[in-house]
Structure 1
Amino acid sequence: MTAARVGVFGLLGSGNLGNDGSLEAVLAYLRAEHPEAVVDALCGGPEYVSARFGIPATRLHWYRGEYRTASRAGAIAGKGLGKLVDAFRTAAWVRRHDVVIVPGMGVLEATLPLRPWGFPYALFLLCASGRLFGTRVALVSVGADAIGDRPTRALVRWSARLATYRSYRDTLSRDAMRAMGVDTARDEVYPDLAFALPTPSERATPGLVCVGVMDFHGGNDDRARAEEIHRRYVDGATAFVRALVREGRPVRLLTGDACDATVVAAILHAVDSPLVTAAETASLADLMEETGAADTVVATRYHNLICALKAGTPTLALSYAAKSDALMARMGLDAYRHPAREVDADRLLEQFRALEKRSAELRRTLAERNLVAGRRLEQQFAALTTALFPTAGHAHTRQEAS
């Protein structure tokens, strides 16, 4: 009997703070409940994951240009060869583990532009390899949504079917997988893993409004209108920030992914006021610190919303997907949503003022809902131990091929 070998898998370390926050929560669980486990990662940014989280990490894709548009013959050939090489690389990595955990993330959805041969293919390779070699693969508090594109839909459906354990971060996700032909009778719904992270200490900046922005171009089905959607979003967000500045309110711009910096720069340039500043955040803990210091938050990215809600700050969602609507409803702020695809600065300002009038009441509601979320995630981690570590933390590790 030796220590269990546990792998974590996903677009981790690639600049998305929400994905890395989900990994942080799972690693905290493993270190607390299974400290003997030997953990490593197959991920998007292995250098970052190793440096920040202290675990060995391997690059998810053999071809380094996987997520760049391929227009030349050499790049297209490289991508094609990479798909074949990744099948063998993924299988070899999975075979070395007893358990592989996919921590949170929207791995079963296509609410943002997505190609089937990108991450959906990588996830399918993972789950198929797990079934082939008897490695338990767990999709933990993941997001899902109905997918129209047939190849993507098929890969996502088969990935879910082949996984050993599935749980979802909202009922919407479970219903979507059921509609796509997955038997979800034994699947549970738990809060997003970020709700398991520590809540920062309180510090207040009177009058501060945090505005979380996103390099938003619509979803998978909006490709024909992507630039129009992006322009309307940036123009609306800029007009809203400008209106706050006219009222003398300090504004702090937040991001959730490295690509969002272009929107921050556009707003800073257009508004050109010392009242508007940009936060430098490297983790969800940083985002919680920022949102916890604010009177009110208006945000787009899903994990910007989660950080604000967990910090207990009244929040208005610039909603771009049903997952944001479901989150706001679960936390008692269903009335405070505005469509990211059609930002109307005047209407948004009205909703913002209505939110601020109920600030004290909503802070009490958020405190209660956060306690419930924390207890549910404790139950999730107990269920994970039962499903993935059946010998109470000591699993037989298969020998690595020499």
Structure 2
Amino acid sequence: MGLFGLFGSGNVGNDGSLVAVLDQLRADRPDAEVDALCGGPETVTARYGIPASRLHWFRGEYRTAARPADIAGKGFGKLVDAFRIAAWVRRHDVVIVPGTGILESTLPLRPWGMPYSLFLVCAAGRLLRTPVALVGVGASGTRSRPVRTLIRWAARLAAYRSYRDTLSRDALREMGVNTRRDEVYADLVFALATPPSGSDSGPPGPVCVGVMDFGGSNDERDRADELRRRYLDGMTRFVRGLAAEGRPVRLLTGDDVDRTVAEAILEAVDSPLVVAAATASLGDLMKEMAVADTVVATRYHNLVCALKVGTPALAVSYAAKSDRLMADMGLGEHCHPAREIDADRLLEQFRALERDRARVRRTLAERNPVLAERVRRQFEALNALLPASGGAPDLARQETP
């Protein structure tokens, strides 16, 4: 079996989705041979113990192509990748794309990046009769015609699709994908083990603030610098306000690119009460959040971690998926727009959340088992479709493009 995605590249949410499916495969199919095609193969092999291959032939894929040699290398690499990906797909009985927002454009992306790579995987799967399963994925609409076209065809060519929320299924339906037989479950991360949580007794504890290198969506590239400045200014003033009230703050990130934001806030606030926590995985994030009084988070999977461990959370929301998740967890009123951060208003919302902390913890304790059960049903459905030992996968519901 092959696992495909941007794993090992510094985004702990993506890696969390990989771990959730990998743990399940090891439990249900201990004899299965599993490998990955991903962004950071060395990291994936070292951390998760499976063979992994590099997604892109051109090693400078993630660098801005300024020199003619880089431009030529990227262009030639796209042609080479078509053959490399097809050869990788051919070696497997089934390819699984585990979770993540792989069909989203809520953050900047180029059509010849992940949309193109995913299309190649799904097209190769159809041509070579290797089923490709999109399991618990996220999706969103976009005004970019090339991105929309590649996402639509990748989804159409997949043998199986399921989603982490109804927004994702609706987005693909609006793109022209027949989703009538597709199911909605929950984010795969809700299957991960949860560390013990804190309590509401004792003096005020730390506040975890998850920050992000946020510059808008793929459709807002012309405003990226403005949105980035506005976000950083708003979060800095918010953290400064917490420190002024004597609250210890632990800054958290969800991707390597977020570290510059955390460093900028540390420098600007310049308080011994504010520190940046070292978190290399979703497990690390959950441990931090489990002992916090409150979490204020921007990245989607930072938010998922807070809710999963039962810590009251306030979403600095940059996409509809965060608003929907908070509503599903009974916390729809505890959201603040990432594009228009009002530090004073955010502090007011934070204080209101803290006053309501006991009720919120009870609500999360009720909702978490529901989402965990949805993921369990997702894994049951996936397990029923995967090949038995020596058999063929039962993923034969591919639609005609």
Q: TM-score range by the shorter chain?
A: over 0.9
CA-to-aligned-CA distance 1:31-71 (integer Å, 9 cap, x gap): 00111110000000000000000000000000011121112
Structure 2 counterpart of 1:154: 149
Structure 2 counterpart of 1:3: none
SS at 2:34 equivalent: strand
Deviation (angstroms), 1:207: 2.2
Structure 2 counterpart of 1:107: 102
The answer to whether structure 1 residue 395 and structure 2 residue 391 are counterparts is: yes
Structure 2 counterpart of 1:280: 278
8 A Cα contact 2:89 2:124, kept in partner: yes
Structure 2 counterpart of 1:383: 381
Structure 2 counterpart of 1:261: 259
The answer to whether structure 1 residue 208 and structure 2 residue 206 are counterparts is: yes
SS at 1:65 equivalent: coil
Letter in 1 for 2:4: F
Rounded Cα–Cα distance in structure 1 between residues aligned with 2:63 and 2:187: 29
Letter in 2 for 1:137: V
The counterpart of 1:130, out of the listed 125, 131, 149, is: 125
Structure 1 counterpart of 2:5: 10
Structure 1 counterpart of 2:396: none
Structure 2 counterpart of 1:300: 298
Deviation (angstroms), 1:388: 2.4
> Which consecutive unaligned segments of at least 5 residues does structure 2 have?
394-401
Rounded Cα–Cα distance in structure 1 between residues aligned with 2:62 and 2:178: 32
Structure 1 counterpart of 2:371: 373
Deviation (angstroms), 1:190: 1.0
State which drifts further: 71-80 or 251-260.
71-80
Map 1:1-400 → 2, pairs under 5 A: 6-203=1-198, 206-389=204-387, 391=388, 393-395=389-391
State which drifts further: 64-73 or 47-56.
64-73
8 A Cα contact 1:165 1:387, kept in partner: no
Rounded Cα–Cα distance in structure 2 between residues aligned with 1:394 and 1:374: 31
Rounded Cα–Cα distance in structure 2 between residues aligned with 1:206 and 1:317: 20
State which drifts further: 194-203 or 320-329.
194-203
State which drifts further: 228-237 or 195-204.
195-204
SS at 1:139 equivalent: strand
> Which consecutive unaligned segments of at least 5 residues does structure 1 have?
1-5, 398-402
SS at 1:38 equivalent: coil
Rounded Cα–Cα distance in structure 2 between residues aligned with 1:38 and 1:206: 49
8 A Cα contact 1:99 1:137, kept in partner: yes
Rounded Cα–Cα distance in structure 1 between residues aligned with 2:362 and 2:376: 22
Deviation (angstroms), 1:223: 1.1
SS at 1:318 equivalent: strand
8 A Cα contact 1:124 1:159, kept in partner: yes
**Percent of pairs with identical residues:** 70
Rounded Cα–Cα distance in structure 2 between residues aligned with 1:388 and 1:94: 16
SS at 1:61 equivalent: coil
Deviation (angstroms), 1:396: 5.1
Deviation (angstroms), 1:394: 4.2
Rounded Cα–Cα distance in structure 2 between residues aligned with 1:54 and 1:358: 43
8 A Cα contact 1:316 1:337, kept in partner: yes
Letter in 1 for 2:329: M
Rounded Cα–Cα distance in structure 1 between residues aligned with 2:204 and 2:308: 19
Cα RMSD of the aligned pairs, angstroms, is 1.1
SS at 1:312 equivalent: coil
CA-to-aligned-CA distance 1:220-247 (integer Å, 9 cap, x gap): 1111111111011001001001111111
Deviation (angstroms), 1:134: 0.9
| TM-score, L = length of structure 2 | 0.96
SS at 2:350 equivalent: helix
Letter in 1 for 2:76: L
CA-to-aligned-CA distance 1:259-284 (integer Å, 9 cap, x gap): 10000000100111110011100110
Rounded Cα–Cα distance in structure 1 between residues aligned with 2:83 and 2:76: 11
8 A Cα contact 1:136 1:388, kept in partner: no
| TM-score, L = length of structure 1 | 0.95
Rounded Cα–Cα distance in structure 2 between residues aligned with 1:133 and 1:53: 28
SS at 1:218 equivalent: coil
8 A Cα contact 1:18 1:303, kept in partner: yes
SS at 2:57 equivalent: coil
